[in-house]
Chains A and B, each alone.
Chain A
Amino acid sequence: MKNRLKIAAIALLGFSTACCATRKGVKQDGDASSPVIERDTVEARIRLMYGVPMPDGSTSRVLSDEEAQTDRRATVATDNAETK
């Protein structure tokens, strides 16, 4: 099973906030149509024993159109699961 399907399945089981997630964002220049998605990974969320919180937006990067489309589908699946 592809990773995105696994993530979607975990979300469907009710644990979307406990696993990898994606959320849409906008570039800092305010261009809302830009295909920028803040990628929020489990690694970024772990607060290590002697560590510090990951700075906000630190893992964002511009995705390719194809990546962005895939991420949008995962986001929709996650959102749908959360509203159920």
Chain B
Amino acid sequence: MDVAIEVAGLVKRYGDLTALDGVDLQVPRGTVLGLLGPNGAGKTTIVRILTTLLQPDAGRATIDGVDVLANPREVRKRLGLSGQYAAVDEYLTGFENLDMIGRLYHLGRRRSRERARELLAQFSLTDAGDRPTRTYSGGMRRRLDLAGALVAAPPVLFLDEPTTGLDPRSRTEMWGVIQRLVADGTTLLLTTQYLEEADVLADDIVVIDHGRAIARGTSDQLKAQIGGERLELTVSDAGRLGGAVDLVTPLGVAPPVADEHRRSLTMPVTGGVKALRQALDLLEAAGLEVDDAGVRRPTLDDVFLTLTGSTTRDDEAEQTEEVGAA
């Protein structure tokens, strides 16, 4: 197998806090790996180490066959990085930003200019190209930042939460841009907090929590592991919620979780719509009135609930701690 990114036993500590606790990754050339996890899980730390910005305390990594720790300068020629916040200079125009990056990749004056214009066109920024970027919208800045990562047409690309903070339309646009890149054979490592994003973009997903890889596989494999879709029902009478739980339990792959306050229950099911119809039939036959019913796809919360027994929200205290230490 031709491996573009290889990581073994990566460890990073900040004082007493272990940000990475022995992470192994392998990304075959031309594929997309999604690192999925809540804030503070260690995703950004992995990206920073692989892009030579940070020294790990233990472990090794190679990009395109080049050792990241032994030969960082050679590695930098082979990678493009687009970070969590758009690192574009707000006083420079879009063109000037890209031209500068081209010069710093040593493409030469002429080639840098040509490349800047090509990328502006590719990212639908031609009209805005000669305006200072502080006039850009958030989505435009992200696109420009991504264009910056592509100036030298690197074989390996790192995108750290490329759509965090974008509105839904800009996010969908960004996904389209990333999908076209990957179709051209670029190897991509992507971090995200959104299961849906990993689902759309990644060939393989590694779930990161507390600096460890706690699950890996394709999106379908992960979903099978956590029980596929969720059936959600809200009954009119809180007093009859217990009865509803008893009635629908045989339909689920795991027992339902009831929420008295919201008069609702949630249960993992397979064959969602069919399970929904059966549940509604059973409840109607028993004379139980239903206010709301639906089937939804599992969220990151569901993944974490199943894999770690806690939701992502429980990690927020630690997230602040890690950001503080970093």
* Mutual binders A and B: no
